[in-house]
Chain A
């Protein structure tokens, strides 16, 4: 009888342990808690996780996380933890448009930087927290690039322009930008700027004249609050307390995180490696130039 009892206890314990292990396999990417935290860190792109050696975040991934959080009835609110200097216009717009469709309370918390496309994303949320010293704003569009035409000329290299249309190669860094081309590009940037301004006006109800007067500059959190670009000073904990009061719930946060695969790690290393090769070439040329001067 005693042996039977011992056998049954061990048998049940074995099944329990097996279930514990299996439950671990199922819970790997299960969204738990009642508040989801979505980190938006680095340059915002539509795809990829690195940009010229810097960390980047893809809008596709952010949209996927938003869908997961929104479809989970346990999740009552989403906090976007932003630490981004900006990104491509489309990537920022995709995320901002999706945030506006969320039927749960959305909050942005700007850390070091939440500028340009990063701010566009923040402006789409219901409430924005930032630190007094956070950098934000930078409402506008840029398309600056380094022109190599002088460099090619100096080293007696010829760029053979073969294009089917007059403006087909507009913005190519190996050729000089003509005045007409410059005007055309600036016109596109003006359109993007106007879109950005109208979006912020719609999202934040900040007057268009004020937004235009800011001339695309960035601000510290203190100034941003004065202009109405943010709602309050604070960090993620302040956002949690805010939600706790607003939704009358004990916040249990679930933070989404990007799990890098082995391929991603290799790819990032190669990116950095390529940039260092480029830097090496640049420094070699610079030294040669300096030698000539001397």
Chain B
């Protein structure tokens, strides 16, 4: 006798924190190994990678010229990261990391600016740097980043029920 069970349905739910975190790490790795690669030589010549953190802070403190260059490079790299996330999310609702982890942004006919707004968290200067604290806290308690909430962006995954 065969049981007549209801067919499984695929539904969209908010994605898990772990998947979200892993996707972000994967994206950072891609950016680091591919996109940021040409800048590594410049950065290592400014701040040697083999010196202690305290020595590098002394080096930056004593050399305003090097400090300014490092700051500009960081700013440039963060802008590239913002462009990477915003363009791919706008175009495909996914970044490479999200594709691998099979999570995506719910289709909502959002403008490119909304995606750009949601990724401003990546810029390491004031006032955006405040979001480095606000965003993870918001995510932990509400299941969504603060900037995503503002931009009406929802990160989801498909699960069978």
Residues of A near any B CB (own CB < 8 A): 4, 7-8, 11-12, 15-16, 18-20, 22-23, 26-27, 30-32, 71, 73-74
Contact = CB atoms under 8 A, between A and B. Distances in A.
Nearest to A21: B38
Nearest to A18: B80
A26 B91 contact: no
A22 B43 CA distance: 12
Nearest to B58: A73
Interface in B86-125: 87-88, 91-92, 96
B17 interface: no
B2 interface: no
Contacts of A18: 80
A15 B88 contact: no
A18 B31 CA distance: 13
Contact of A73 (B48, B72, B77): B48
B83 A19 contact: no
Interface in B42-99: 42, 45-46, 48, 51, 55, 59, 62-63, 66, 69, 72-73, 76-77, 80, 83-84, 87-88, 91-92, 96
A8 B45 contact: no
Nearest to A15: B35
B59 A73 contact: yes
Contacts of B42: 23, 26-27, 30
Contacts of A16: 34-35, 37-38
Interface residues on B, range: 20 to 34
Q: Which 9 A-B pairs have the closest CB atoms?
A: A20-B38, A32-B45, A23-B38, A15-B35, A27-B42, A30-B45, A19-B38, A23-B39, A26-B42
A289 to B, nearest CB: 57
Contact of A19 (B35, B55, B72, B92): B35
Given A22-B76, A31-B45, A15 B55 contact: no
A32 B40 CA distance: 13
Nearest to B62: A71
B8 interface: no
B86 to A, nearest CB: 11
Nearest to B94: A4
A275 B80 CA distance: 54
Contacts of B30: 12
Given A12-B34, A16-B37, A23-B39, A74 B80 contact: no
27 contacts: A7-B91, A8-B96, A11-B88, A12-B30, A15-B35, A15-B80, A15-B84, A16-B35, A16-B38, A19-B36, A19-B37, A19-B38, A19-B77, A20-B38, A22-B76, A23-B38, A23-B39, A23-B41, A26-B69, A26-B73, A27-B45, A30-B69, A32-B41, A71-B63, A73-B48, A73-B51, A73-B59
A71 B59 contact: yes
A12 B31 CA distance: 9
For A15, A16, A19, A23, the residue with the greatest tally of chain B CB atoms inside 10 Å of its CB is A19
For A18, A30, A71, the residue with the greatest tally of chain B CB atoms inside 10 Å of its CB is A30
A27 B40 CA distance: 11
Contacts of B73: 26
Contacts of A71: 59, 62-63, 66
A71 to B, nearest CB: 5
Given A15-B83, A16-B35, 7 more contacts: A8-B92, A11-B84, A12-B34, A15-B80, A32-B45, A71-B63, A74-B48
